[in-house]
Chain A
Amino acid sequence: MNLVVVVRQVPDLIEPLEVSASGTALDYETASFVVNETDDHALEQALLLKESGGGTVTVVALDYGEVDNTLYTAAAKGADRIVKIARADDTPPSPAASAAAYAQAIQPLGPELVLVGIQAHDELDGVVPPLLAARLGMPYVGVIRGVKRGPEPGAVSVCKEFPGAVMARLSVRLPAVLGILGAEQPPRYVPVSRIRAAMKTAKFDEVAGAAPPPASRVEVCRLYPPPSGARAEMLSGTESELAARIAEILAEKGLLK
């Protein structure tokens, strides 16, 4: 099976994020980048599919942030081919521009199945996977937890999650784009020695970026950290006083009768 995985870089949340001077975007200068978690699951799912019945896994990524580290890690995990899309500056493009760039790089690969994380946490509304499917002219199914081969040739069986923890098993005819929420098992650990070996041997196919798509109709007017509320009430006193006060609050809120 010809599998393609889209892997994005997102700002690492262990460092505090800053809003850029423009007030409409993150300050990517101060951020460090890490692989998007659901994309990591998409890669794991693709590797599991490959291991369960053969095929090739091609990883496609835009060149910004610490993408090389991520791609070497992907190679060390077992990705067969890596396509890196050139980018003029070192920041993530808009969702529409991303989808256009991915589609242009993926089209020539002739994939049977494209796996992409359901959302990146610096992205509006999780629109990249469906936009990508639209550009590739393939059907799209999102919020997937686990993909299996079959039940018939030319199809995969996916587990889709609905609100309220309702799960459905769907058969999806290929080719298709899947928005992955979780792989069948957590992403595997890849030891540093294998990553270092991949750094010596892995080759990236570098392709040019796509022409910028028409401007998005959604515009960010202002980006700001959530204002901190001043409504927290700090309790103090002896243990029994505290317990009494907590009980009182719970009763006020209607949680205790």
Chain B
Amino acid sequence: MDYARPIMWNVPHWAEIALYAMIPLVLIAFFAGVVWRVRKWSIGQAEPGTLAPGGQLLRALAPLRLAELVKTILFQSRLAGDGFSIVMHQAIFWGMVVLFLGTALATIDQDVAHLVFDAQVLRGGFYRFFELALDVFGIALIVGVGMAAYRRYVVRPKRLEATRAGISLWDGFPFLAVLFLIAVTGFVAEGLRLAEGFHIESQAAVAATRGPEARRASLERMGLRERLRMGAERQEAELDRIARGEPVFPAAAWAPVGFALAKVFHPLSVGSIRALHQVTWWLHALLAFGLIVAVPLTKAFHLISSPANMLLRNPAPAGRLPVVAESGVDTVRDLAWRQLVQLDACTWCGKCQEACPGHNIGFPLSPRDLVQAIGAELLRTPVRANGQTRSLHGEVVRPEQLWACCTCRACEEVCPVQIQHPRLVVDLRRRLVDQGQVDEGLQEALMNLQRYGNSFGQSPRKRADWTKPLDFKLKDARKEEVEYLWFVGDYASYDQRAQEVTRALAKVLHAAGVDVGVLFEKEQNAGNDVRRTGEEGLFSMLREKNLKELANARFRKLLTSDPHTYNTLKNEYPSVGDPPNGDDPLAGKPVLHYAELLDELLRQGKLPLARPVDRTITYHDPCYLGRFNGVYEAPRRVLRALGVELVEMPRHGPDSFCCGAGGGRIWMKDTPGIDERPAENRVREALRLPGVECLVVACPKDLVMFQDAVKTVGAEARLRVADLAELVNEAIATSSEPSTLVETSHDRTG
């Protein structure tokens, strides 16, 4: 039996016209809001070496990237790891999507199918399915909103606490309340509509006791014909159907929530039901319109800005820091347009803050608050520069926030909408450096780097002194051709404890017959951390000097000890541009961290492992090896091959917790008043693992930081800090040679 959804039931004609008249106004307000937000992005700077926004958009629409975005949105996949959050977002997102599409479909049914063709899509089985779907997703929306409210107002995780600088008053509770009320008014209107149907049916049923004709007459008397807004032929058919005793709303039972509510409302009089229905219907419509208008003005804008940000994100490697202005960022106008999109994309979810080592140990830094404060400043800044734009330094962002960042990228890694917080920090730091405002310890390191090419303030001639105790000679890559040019790095060259590791690696490479050489005193600090302190000029100088030496050397591959060095050599030393510079000394030359080389040697069977290393260990992923460059498995494969028992810390792989050395923090003074140092936090995490006797690192800075932290937490006897290279050397060392892991208790120098 065919039947269709009654259209605009109980809605007076004037109300229908008013509703439709409002739609263009709502759309105008919505698009005006969107344009207002998007125009703010235009005050940002172009990024040298990248496409203009238009070109970015075209490239972003390439099928692969679009598919990735669609996947991210449909499955909210960037929230992976937080089940509650995924369910909540999916419920609200899909609830709203289906309800919106349902409403749109009903509108099309009315305005196109019905008015133009006198036919309806919402009929029969599809109509039933439609009713069921809308009820189910309406419930989903309420559940999602309930979950969000539960998390915000009952669980109250720190990361969701109110920000210091909110971008709008119309957020949080009002937003959730509106979503909730839209769902509730929708259900109530449905319930009231169905309840009136019950009344009509029971009146008709009373009349029907006097015969089928009386039932039909009673329906006519109730004005049902006029209330069924459809062509005369279809009206007739519908009346016939209802006169046969079928329900007025034949899919009523397929809308379980509305049906249940109808039972509740049934005792009310028909007049009350009809009046209440009209009020609720209006409420529902106005709330929905209000929501649409509010989208660009509130947190809901992330429906637009977050996907826009993901589409327009820079596809360059995470380890390549973009530079728009060497002298850094003073006002929001100095930021790149892409960064402005990122500010708008933030949803205040606070996951960055939860992951931030600085925030975790009591530094005055929250990546979320930083983004929020600058985002709020963006909204306050007029598109046209009339007069002075306020400096971000001072009231908006304080220097101590900026210096607290380890540039470990944990925030960026967890950000569901791919905001690059460390880039923002470095841009702002550049300004401080330009103005000469640097921490005392940092100033000393930077002056040493300017003058001597190392942060230790040691003579450049002593850079290769670590090689002296070796009983073989390392090749001089300046004089003879080598397969691997080993760029050792500052800490691995000058720090007394790290030197032991550097020598252990040299022995391993020697034993494996690797053709390797170094630049001796011609090597200078590669500048990875210099760049991240904001001293861009010094980074450029160091890069030029090193590239000049590298251009004079003959080698096929670059090998590094320090993941920081690795990152910048791999991502920031090769000339960027299209086409790449022909005389780039690094063109076509792979850069390897020694963990990768050891892994390769292992695979080729070139590591003469003589005895298994019988230890229970845990491994710390260095930020610049793991999160920045995705090298997680190579060191683990080497460790497993050694025969150690590897126990993972809760925070490992991409969730690794920074030792606190990155971004130049290793040179800065300790911040007074902190709860604990990041390295101490990390050492305590390792100490909580049962049976673990050794914390294995693959970064000289980690070695230095954790060696200190093991002492300051008083765990020297329980936990040894050792480098991957030392374990390998132990496994290949001939019995005559003492293990490099005999008690080592040198203090950190420099």
Contact = CB atoms under 8 A, between A and B. Distances in A.
B541 A192 contact: yes
B537 A193 contact: yes
A14 B434 CA distance: 28
Nearest to B542: A192
Chain B binding surface, main DSSP class: helix
A195 B438 CA distance: 16
A188 B436 contact: yes
A194 B450 CA distance: 13
B433 interface: yes
Interface stretch (B92-100, B451-459, B554-562, B585-593): B451-459
A-B pairs, top 3 by smallest CB distance, nearest first, are A193-B537, A192-B537, A192-B538
Interface string B462-483: 0000000000000000000000
B451 A193 contact: no
B537 A196 contact: yes
Contact of A194 (B438, B443, B459, B537): B537
B599 interface: no
A226 interface: no
Interface string B429-452: 000011010101001001100111
Contacts of A188: 436
Nearest to A192: B537
Contacts of B447: 189
B327 interface: yes
A142 to B, nearest CB: 26
A190 interface: yes
Contacts of B220: none
8 contacts: A14-B457, A186-B443, A189-B446, A191-B536, A192-B540, A192-B541, A194-B434, A196-B537
Interface in B517-569: 535-538, 540-541
B16 interface: no
Contact of A15 (B436, B443, B450, B461): B461
A14 B453 CA distance: 13
Contacts, number: 41
Nearest to B536: A193
A170 interface: no
A34 interface: yes
B443 A189 contact: yes
Interface in B295-338: 326-327
Interface in A169-202: 186, 188-196
A24 to B, nearest CB: 26
B459 A193 contact: no
B527 to A, nearest CB: 11
A25 B327 CA distance: 44
B538 A191 contact: yes
B440 A186 contact: yes
Contacts of B433: 189, 191
Nearest to A35: B451
B436 A193 contact: no
Contact of B436 (A14, A189, A192, A196): A189
Contacts of B537: 191-196
Nearest to A14: B459
A186 B447 CA distance: 13
A192 B535 contact: yes
Nearest to B326: A193
A195 B433 CA distance: 13
A190 B450 CA distance: 10
A76 B535 CA distance: 15
A14 B538 contact: no
Contacts of A189: 433, 436, 438, 443, 446-447
A188 B31 CA distance: 50
Contacts of A34: 451
A190 B436 contact: yes
Given A14-B452, A34-B451, A191 B459 contact: no
A41 B452 CA distance: 21
Interface of A: 14-15, 34, 186, 188-196
A160 to B, nearest CB: 25
A195 B451 CA distance: 13
A47 to B, nearest CB: 10
Given A14-B458, A34-B451, A193 B438 contact: no
Contacts of B438: 189
Contacts of A195: 537
Interface in B684-713: none
A193 B459 CA distance: 24
B281 to A, nearest CB: 65
A189 B440 CA distance: 9
Given A192-B450, A192-B538, 5 more contacts: A189-B433, A189-B436, A189-B438, A193-B536, A196-B537
Contacts of B446: 189
B164 to A, nearest CB: 29
B447 to A, nearest CB: 7
Contacts of A193: 326-327, 434, 536-537, 540
Contacts of B327: 193
Contacts of A14: 452, 457-459
Nearest to B442: A189
| Residue in A15, A186, A189, A196 with the greatest tally of chain B CB atoms within 10 Å | A189
A191 B535 contact: yes
Contacts of A196: 537, 541
Nearest to A16: B459
A186 B540 CA distance: 26
B434 to A, nearest CB: 6
Nearest to A190: B436
B106 to A, nearest CB: 62
Contacts of A192: 450, 535, 537-538, 540-541
Contact of A191 (B436, B452, B457): B436
A105 to B, nearest CB: 27
A196 B450 CA distance: 12
A191 B429 CA distance: 12
Given A192-B537, A192-B541, A193-B326, A15 B459 contact: yes
| Residue in B446, B536, B537 with the greatest tally of chain A CB atoms within 10 Å | B537
Given A15-B461, A186-B440, A191 B541 contact: no
A218 to B, nearest CB: 32
Nearest to A15: B459
A189 B538 CA distance: 12
| Residue in A34, A190, A191, A194 with the greatest tally of chain B CB atoms within 10 Å | A191
B366 to A, nearest CB: 27
A173 B537 CA distance: 42
A203 B538 CA distance: 23
B449 to A, nearest CB: 9
A139 B451 CA distance: 36
Nearest to A73: B450
A221 B486 CA distance: 49
Given A14-B452, A186-B440, A196-B537, A191 B458 contact: no
Nearest to B440: A186
A34 to B, nearest CB: 7
A14 B538 CA distance: 21
A195 B326 CA distance: 13
A211 B459 CA distance: 37
Nearest to A188: B436
Nearest to A34: B451
A75 to B, nearest CB: 14
Contacts of A15: 459, 461
Contacts of B461: 15
A188 to B, nearest CB: 4
Contacts of B440: 186
Interface in B368-417: none
A15 B459 CA distance: 6
B451 A191 contact: no
Contacts of B458: 14
A90 to B, nearest CB: 19
A34 B440 CA distance: 20
A194 B436 CA distance: 10
Contacts of B326: 193
Contacts of A194: 434, 537
